[in-house]
Amino acid sequence: VVVHGIFCPALNLTPPLTQLPFDEYASEILGHVFWFWVIELMRRDLRNRITHEPDAEVPLTTR
């Protein structure tokens, strides 16, 4: 938010937020959601490879 909303317009790299179309906002939101998901997948994979333990969300016993 800070980089795209403040610094980029201040450095004249992008137009001000008030001049961006809705499609740009939607693209930014979906792009960030996608990146957060990819980063979480990578984090879990690396954690599991390093610790050799299952995710905390996975129950260790079945009922």
Minimum mean pLDDT among 24-28, 32-36, 37-41, 57-61: which range?
A: 57-61
pLDDT band at 49 (very low <50, low <70, confident <90, very high): very high
**Does some domain include residue 46?**
yes
**Does some domain include residue 2?**
no
**Does some domain include residue 6?**
no
**Does some domain include residue 40?**
yes
Q: Decide if 48 contacts 54 (C-beta within 8 A).
A: yes
**Does some domain include residue 10?**
no
**Token pair 């490879």 is at which residue?**
49
- What domain count does the chain have? 1
**Does some domain include residue 36?**
yes
Q: Which two tokens stand for residue 42?
A: 């990578």
Q: How much of the chain, in percent, has pLDDT values that exceed 70? A: 90
Q: Which domain holds residue 41?
A: 19-51
**Does some domain include residue 4?**
no
Helix (H, G, I), strand (E, B) or coil at 51: helix
Q: In degrees rounded to 5, what are phi and psi of residue 55?
A: -65, 150
